[in-house]
Amino acid sequence: MNQYKPMLPYLGVAAAAFYLLPLLMKDTGLAMLMLLIIIPAACLLDGLFYGRKHGFQLMFPIACGILFVPTVWIYYNSSASIYIMSFTSFTMAGTYFGSLLRKK
């Protein structure tokens, strides 16, 4: 459990992006902006900060992907399930690049 404790603040940021940002969606255009630009950018930055502080750990992007799963049924429909892999990939890329910044 102690190895996952450092992830909690970063997972909180991801949860805020996944669960609070969709509340701002008023129409389809804004929903697409959220899903295609704002939430992926939040995942990338969250992963970047996590990777820079803690190095690359595969469990963090996986946890972010799992955290998004309930939002598919809360805010979207089953067609949004493709974003699970997308957001996991953005978080993984951010974590990787953050870990590279850590080494320098």
Asked if residues 95 and 48 have their Cβ atoms less than 8 Å apart, the reply is yes
**What local confidence, expressed as pLDDT, does residue 104 receive?**
60
Provide the mean pLDDT of the chain.
Answer: 93
Supply the range of the domain harboring residue 22.
5-103
Asked if residues 95 and 57 have their Cβ atoms less than 8 Å apart, the reply is yes
Asked if residues 95 and 52 have their Cβ atoms less than 8 Å apart, the reply is no
pLDDT over 90 at 47, yes or no: yes
Asked if residues 51 and 96 have their Cβ atoms less than 8 Å apart, the reply is yes
Mean of the pLDDT values across residues 38-53? 96
pLDDT over 90 at 89, yes or no: yes
Angle between helices 39-54 and 82-103 (to 10 degrees): 40
**What local confidence, expressed as pLDDT, does residue 34 receive?**
92
pLDDT over 90 at 4, yes or no: no
Domain tally, the chain: 1
